Amino acid sequence: MPSSISLTVNGTHHLIDVYPGELLRTALRRLRIFSLKHGDETGESGADAILFTRTPDDPKSYRIVNSGILLAAQADGASVVTLEGLEGEDAEGAERSRQERLSPRISTLQQQFIECGAIQCGYCTPAQILAAQHLLDKEPRPSEDAVREAIAGVLCRCTGYLKPVQAILRAAAQLQGETPPAPEIDVRDAPATGEWPASDQLPSNGWHDGGPDTQTQTRIVPVTVAPPRTQVVNKPEPKVDAVKLAKGRPVFADDVELPGMLYGGLLTSPVAHARILSIDTADALALPGVHAVQTYADLPRVIYASGGQSYPQPPPYDQVCLDSKVRYVGDRVATVAAETPELVQEALERIRVEYKELPAAFSPEEAMQTGAPVIHDEDDAQMIHDAKRNVAVKLLVDHNDVDAALESADFVFESEYRVHQVQQASIEPHVVITYWDEDDRLVIRTSTQVPFHVRRMVAPLLGLPVRRIRVVKPRIGGGFGGKQEMLIEDLCAHLTIATGRPVKFEYTRQMEFSSARTRHPQRLRFRSGVDASGKLVGMEVRVVADTGAYGTHGLTVQMVTGFRALSTYWLPAARFDCDVVYTNKPVPGAFRGYGAPQALFGLEQHMEEMALAFGMDPTEFKRINWVKEGDSLVMAVAMGEGREGFPQTVESSGLAECVEAGAASIGWDRRRDPDWKAPPDRPHIRRGIGLAICMHGTGIAGLDMGAASIKLNDDGSFNLLVGATDLGTGSDTVLAQIAAEALGVPLDQIVIYSSDTDFTPFDTGAYASSTTYISGGAVLKAAEDVSLQIRRHAAAHMFEGVDADQLWLEDQKIFAPGGRAVSLEKVALHSIHQEEQHQIMATASHMSYVSPPPFAAQYAALEVDTETGQVTVEKAVMAVDCGIAINPVTASGQVEGGMTQALGYALCEEMPYDDNGRLQISRFGDYRILAANEIPELDTILVQTYEPTGPFGAKAIAEIPMDGMAPAIASAIFDATGVRIREIPFTPERVWRALKSEKK
C-alpha cells in the first residue's frame, strides 16, 4: 500500500504517495525531475545523485547521495536539491523576467562544462555538475585532487574526466573573479607532404579562396596542412546540444511518460545451455495489472542476425525473438508487460520454466572439439559455417604466398597472445519505448546507434512493413558499439502489439552485463619473417575468436582484426586464418575499435618481440615497416567487412610526427635513467615506458552511406537534417560545423536534427568511425548544393550581370566581386515570398570507396610493484593524426575518453565466469570502470594532416584511441621488468605470476 511522504524538492514542498519499495529516484522522476538518470541499481554509477538533508534548516547539512539506493519512504521529511534547483531557473515558481525566459540561464559551472567540452553524451553531466557545485559551495578554490574526489562518485564512460575537471577548476577561478585563459588543445600540423588541391573549380572540400578581391583561381597552396581560412571548421565550437545536456533536460529515451504506458521485463536463462521443456505463465498472467506474458510459443519464428549492419546482414542468421532453447546464462526466455515495474518483477518470478540442461562449452577450444555440444542444432539457422563444430564463421584470406615468403625469410618469429571479454558499459542502459501512433504506425523510441538498421531489421520480426514503423533516436547516453545492435526493440514492440499500449523496456545493469553485448575474446598467433635489413617479408595471423552464443558481429569484427593486423605494416605476403566459434557465453558484438584493439595488442607486442629477438630497436623496426603515404593496403580488397573490399592507398599519414611528439610528451628518454627506472628509495618498484602505434579506418569503404538535407529558412538560418546518430561523440556539432563553413554562417545559424526515420534521410548510423567522413561528406555536398542555389537566386535577382560562380557566401551574406553584398535573410525572403518562389534546399548522399586510415602513437609510463604485481599507470599519451580536426575540442575529448576505456581494458575490466558459465560480476564496482580520482595524467596531441578525400581534410578519430593502450602498457611492463605478458588484463596476480615464473 502506498503511504504519503512529505518531501521538499528544490524548495518546493510536495506530499506524494509512494510504495514501500519505491526508490527516491523513481519518485523524483515522477515529479518530472529528469536530471536524475538510471545508471544502475546499486549506487555505483552516481547518475542519480542528489543533494539531500533531513535537516533543511541547516544549509550546510546537504550531502550528495544517490537517489537510486534510497527508498522514497526514507526521504519523508527530507529536502532534496537537484540540478534543476541549483539556480532556481527551472524550479517551480522561480521568478524570471520575460527577457530571461527567452534565453536559457547558464550557470558559470554549466558554461565552463560547455566551453571546455566536458559534455559528451551528457547522461552523467547533471550529476557531475551537481557534485561540482556542491564542492564549490564548500570550497571555492578547490585543488584538482579535491575536484576529482568530488566527482568520483559519478561514473563517466565518455570523457576520461579531464575536461570535466578542467571545467570545474576554471569555473572556480571565474567565480573568484579571475578570467581563466581559453582551454588549450594541443593541435599541431604535421610537416606536410601534401598540398591543398589545385583546381579551376571550387574545391570539393568546400574551402574556397574567398576574399572579395580574389577570383577563384588555379593555385598551389604552399606546404601546409591546416585549412588556411576557415571560420567554423577546425575551431573549438561548443557542442550544439550542450545547453540542454548541461541543464539536464529530458532528452533521453527514458525521459518521457506516455499515457497508459506499461513496463516491460525480460526473464533470462539461469542455465548456460538447455531446452525449454515447458513454460507455465498462468500465475504471472493471473496477477492483476499484468497485461501480457510472451514466450516462444507466442511469437512468430523468424530467423535473423541482430548486428546493426547494412543490408544484407552479414551471416550467420542464428537468432529468433524467443526460442525454445537457451544458449547462455542471460539468454531470452520470456517477456512481461505490466502496470508497474514491481508487478513486472513479480510476474517474472511467477513464470515457471522447466529446463532440460545440456552440456555446455565455455571456450572455443572446448567448443571445437569432437563431441562437443552443438550450440546451434536448430534446422532453420542459416549460413553457419560448420554448426556441428560450433564454427559460426571461417575466414581464410591469402595475399601472395606467405609460406614461401616465410621460407625465404632471414628470420622468422612466432608468438601468441590472448585478449579477453569486456563490456561497453555505457552509463545509460539499453532502453526503448514503443507505441502505436494515431495512424496505427508503430513508433520505436530507442537508445540506438543505428535507427535505420533497426527499422529495417525489426520489420520482418514484427510482421510489419517498414513504412508502418518509425524509429526515433533521442539523445543517447553512450553506446561505444553496444547499441549498434537491434537488441531489445523487437521484444518491446511485440509487447505493444500484444497489449495495444505503450511499453517501456529498460535493461538493468546486471542485464547489461549478462544479456547485452561485449567485446570478442580472441587467441591470436602471429608468425612473421623479416629479411636481413629488417623489412617484413610476410606475416601469418591465426585467430580463434569467441562469439558467444550468437554470431551477430562475429564475421565483421574478426575481419577487422585481420585487416588491422595485416595492414598496419606493409607486407609483401600475408595470410589471415580465423575461426569464429560459438560458446555458451554472453554474446560479443561491436565495441569501439571493432576487432582492432585485439589485433593491435598482438601485433604491437609481436613486432616488439621480433625486433628484440632480431637485435633491432623496436621503434626503428616499426618505423621501417609501417605503411606510409603512397603505400597500398594489400589486404583491403580481400578483406572488406563481410564482403569484398576496395583498393586502398594511404594518402595522408602523420605517424612519424605522432611518434616523435608522443615521445617528447611521455619523456621517452627516461627509459635510460636508472634512478627513474629503479627508484633507490622504493626497492620493489620498477618503472617503464612503452609505445604502440595504431592505424584504424574511416568508415567502411564502398558500404557506409550517409545522407543529409539542408533547407534555408526565412531569416537566413538553415535546418540540417541528418540520419547520422550522435551518441555523445559530438557528431551533430561537427556536421553542423561543416554545413556552417560551407554556407558562410556562424554555427548558431545551423539548426540540426538527428535522427528520426520519418524525418531525416538515411544514414548507416554511428559506427566504424564513419560519421565525420561519410555523413560529413553528405552534409558538405548538400551545403554546396544549397550554396549554389542561393548564389543562383542572388545572381538572377540581386546582382545583375554577375554569374553565380562569381559569388560567395560569408558572414551570413552573399558577396560579389567589388564588395557588394546582400544578406542571406534577404535572399531567403526573396526566394520564398517574392519572386521565382521556391524552397532553397538540397539533399545529398555520400559514400566512399576509400577508408583513409588515421594513425596514432600511444605511450604509457608506469610503475610495477614487483612484490605484488600491481601496475600503476602514471601517464598516458596519445598523439593522433586524424586529418584536420573539424572540432579540436570534441576530437581531443574522443581521445581522452577512448584512452581511459583502453586503460580499463588493459588493467581492470573483465568478465569472469564460474564453472557453469555464470558471470561473476553484475554491477559496477565488480566490473571496474575507472573513476575520476584514479585516472593517470592524460596528454592528447592532435597531429594534423590533410586528407584529400575527407571533408575539409578530416578523417576519423573516434575508435583509434581504444587500439594501442594495452600493447603500450605491455611494452612498458616489459621495459620496467624485462617480463613479457601476452595476455590482458594486467591484473596484479597475472603480473605477479609472470614475474615469479621469470625468476624461476
Partner 1 sequence: MAILAEYHRPKTLNGALDLLADRTARRVPLAGGTHLVGALETRQRRDVDGVVDLAALELSYICQNDSSLRVGAMTTLTELVEHPQCADLAAGILPATARFEGPQNLRNAATVGGLVALAEPDSELFAALLALNVSVVAVDKDGNESHRLLADFTLSHPRSSHGPVLITGIQLPLVHAKTGHARIARSPMDRCIVAAVAVAAANGDLSRSGTSGGRNRADTTRTALCGVGSRPQIAGGPVLPTSDYKGSGEYRLAMAEVVGRRARAGATGSRP
CA–CA distance, 653 with 693 (Å, rounded to integer): 12
CB of 370 to partner 1, least distance (A): 31
Q: Which of 27, 28, 33, 64 binds partner 1 (CB under 8 A)?
A: 64
Three-state secondary structure call for residue 277: strand
Should residue 870 be labelled a site residue for partner 1 when binding is judged by CB under 8 A? Answer: yes
Q: Which of 216, 345, 400, 806 binds partner 1 (CB under 8 A)?
A: 345
Strand partners, 688: 862
Should residue 4 be labelled a site residue for partner 1 when binding is judged by CB under 8 A? Answer: no
Considering only residues 739-778, where is the footprint of partner 1 by CB under 8 A? none
CB of 822 to partner 1, least distance (A): 57
For partner 1, the closer CB: 457 or 511? 511
Size of the site for partner 1 (CB under 8 A): 65
Should residue 719 be labelled a site residue for partner 1 when binding is judged by CB under 8 A? Answer: no
Q: What is the dihedral of CA 386, 459, 849, 591, to 10 degrees?
A: -60
DSSP assignment, residue 18? E
For partner 1, the closer CB: 343 or 712? 343
Q: Which of 39, 68, 716, 898 binds partner 1 (CB under 8 A)?
A: 68
Stretch that binds partner 1, among 67-75, 303-311, 420-428, 558-566 (CB under 8 A): 67-75
CB atoms near residue 87 (< 10 Å): 17
Stretch that binds partner 1, among 147-155, 586-594, 719-727, 773-781 (CB under 8 A): 147-155
Extract the C-alpha cell encoding 167: 571545467
CB atoms near residue 370 (< 10 Å): 6
For partner 1, the closer CB: 188 or 923? 923
Stretch that binds partner 1, among 88-96, 144-152, 418-426, 562-570 (CB under 8 A): 144-152
Nearest Cα to Cα of residue 431 among 508, 530, 370: 508
For partner 1, the closer CB: 687 or 711? 687
Q: What angle do CA 965, 159, 168 make, to 5 degrees?
A: 130
Q: What is the dihedral of CA 553, 489, 317, 775, to 10 degrees?
A: -50
CA–CA distance, 276 with 323 (Å, rounded to integer): 8
Dihedral pair phi/psi, residue 649, rounded to 5°: -125, 140
Helices 888-907 and 965-977: angle between axes, nearest 10 degrees = 50
Stretch that binds partner 1, among 495-503, 701-709, 809-817, 988-996 (CB under 8 A): 988-996
What separation in angstroms does the CA of 97 have from each of 103, 581, 805? Answer: 10, 64, 48
CA–CA distance, 167 with 183 (Å, rounded to integer): 9
Which amino acid is located at 833 in the chain? H
Sketch the per residue contact string, 913 through 942, with partner 1: x for CB under 8 A, - otherwise: -------xxxx-x--x-xx-xx--------
Strand partners, 5: 16
Should residue 189 be labelled a site residue for partner 1 when binding is judged by CB under 8 A? Answer: no
CA–CA distance, 426 with 447 (Å, rounded to integer): 11
For partner 1, the closer CB: 646 or 992? 992
CB of 46 to partner 1, least distance (A): 5
CB atoms near residue 544 (< 10 Å): 22
Q: Is the separation of the CB atoms in 273 and 359 below 8 Å?
A: yes
For partner 1, the closer CB: 150 or 954? 150
φ/ψ region of 400 (left if φ > 0, alpha if ψ in -120 to 50, else beta) reads left
Q: DSSP string of 624-671?
A: HHB--TT-B-TTTTTT-SSS-----B-----HHHHHHHHHHHHTGGGG
In sequence order, the 6+-apart residues with CB closer than 8 A to the CB of 430 are: 447, 482, 483, 487, 488, 506, 507, 512, 516
Nearest Cα to Cα of residue 647 among 656, 638, 655: 638
Q: DSSP string of 115-172?
A: HHT--SS-SSHHHHHHHHHHHHHH-SS--HHHHHHHTTTS--SSS-SHHHHHHHHHHH
CB of 926 to partner 1, least distance (A): 8
For partner 1, the closer CB: 136 or 908? 908
Considering only residues 33-62, where is the footprint of partner 1 by CB under 8 A? 41-44, 46, 49, 52, 54
Should residue 344 be labelled a site residue for partner 1 when binding is judged by CB under 8 A? Answer: yes
CB atoms near residue 623 (< 10 Å): 15
CB of 5 to partner 1, least distance (A): 10
Q: Which of 6, 20, 176, 396 binds partner 1 (CB under 8 A)?
A: 20
Which amino acid is located at 607 in the chain? M
Q: Which of 508, 568, 648, 901 binds partner 1 (CB under 8 A)?
A: 508
For partner 1, the closer CB: 195 or 926? 926
Should residue 143 be labelled a site residue for partner 1 when binding is judged by CB under 8 A? Answer: no
Should residue 524 be labelled a site residue for partner 1 when binding is judged by CB under 8 A? Answer: no
For partner 1, the closer CB: 344 or 693? 344
What separation in angstroms does the CA of 428 have from each of 502, 593, 757, 898? Answer: 21, 20, 22, 17
Should residue 149 be labelled a site residue for partner 1 when binding is judged by CB under 8 A? Answer: yes
Should residue 76 be labelled a site residue for partner 1 when binding is judged by CB under 8 A? Answer: yes
Find where cell 584514479 sits. Answer: 934
Should residue 912 be labelled a site residue for partner 1 when binding is judged by CB under 8 A? Answer: yes
Should residue 874 be labelled a site residue for partner 1 when binding is judged by CB under 8 A? Answer: no
Stretch that binds partner 1, among 277-285, 553-561, 941-949, 986-994 (CB under 8 A): 986-994
Q: Which of 201, 282, 868, 978 binds partner 1 (CB under 8 A)?
A: 868
Stretch that binds partner 1, among 69-77, 189-197, 221-229, 845-853 (CB under 8 A): 69-77
Which regions of 290-400 does DSSP assign to beta strands (E)? 290-294, 325-326, 332-338, 352-357, 391-399
For partner 1, the closer CB: 823 or 987? 987
Should residue 614 be labelled a site residue for partner 1 when binding is judged by CB under 8 A? Answer: no
Should residue 965 be labelled a site residue for partner 1 when binding is judged by CB under 8 A? Answer: no
Nearest Cα to Cα of residue 796 among 766, 740, 840: 840
CB of 997 to partner 1, least distance (A): 13
Extract the C-alpha cell encoding 788: 549554389
Considering only residues 151-170, where is the footprint of partner 1 by CB under 8 A? 152-154
Q: Is the separation of the CB atoms in 853 and 698 below 8 Å?
A: yes
Which regions of 800-944 does DSSP assign to beta strands (E)? 808-810, 813-815, 821-823, 841-847, 855-865, 871-881, 937-944
Q: Which of 184, 867, 937, 998 binds partner 1 (CB under 8 A)?
A: 867
Should residue 989 be labelled a site residue for partner 1 when binding is judged by CB under 8 A? Answer: yes
Q: Which of 73, 175, 256, 412 binds partner 1 (CB under 8 A)?
A: 73
CA–CA distance, 290 with 259 (Å, rounded to integer): 17
Stretch that binds partner 1, among 13-21, 353-361, 369-377, 840-848 (CB under 8 A): 13-21
CB of 872 to partner 1, least distance (A): 7
Q: Which of 910, 947, 963, 975 binds partner 1 (CB under 8 A)?
A: 910
Stretch that binds partner 1, among 146-154, 550-558, 831-839, 968-976 (CB under 8 A): 146-154
CB of 904 to partner 1, least distance (A): 8
Extract the C-alpha cell encoding 778: 553528405
Q: How buried is 714 (Cβ within 10 angstroms: 0-12 exposed, 13-18 middle, 19+ buried)?
A: exposed
CB of 64 to partner 1, least distance (A): 5
Which amino acid is located at 977 in the chain? T
Should residue 21 be labelled a site residue for partner 1 when binding is judged by CB under 8 A? Answer: yes
Interface ranges with partner 1 (CB under 8 A): 3, 19-23, 41-44, 46, 49, 52, 54, 63-66, 68-71, 73-74, 76, 131, 149-150, 152-154, 341-342, 344-346, 349, 508, 510, 865, 867-870, 872, 907-908, 910, 912, 920-923, 925, 928, 930-931, 933-934, 985, 987-989, 992-993
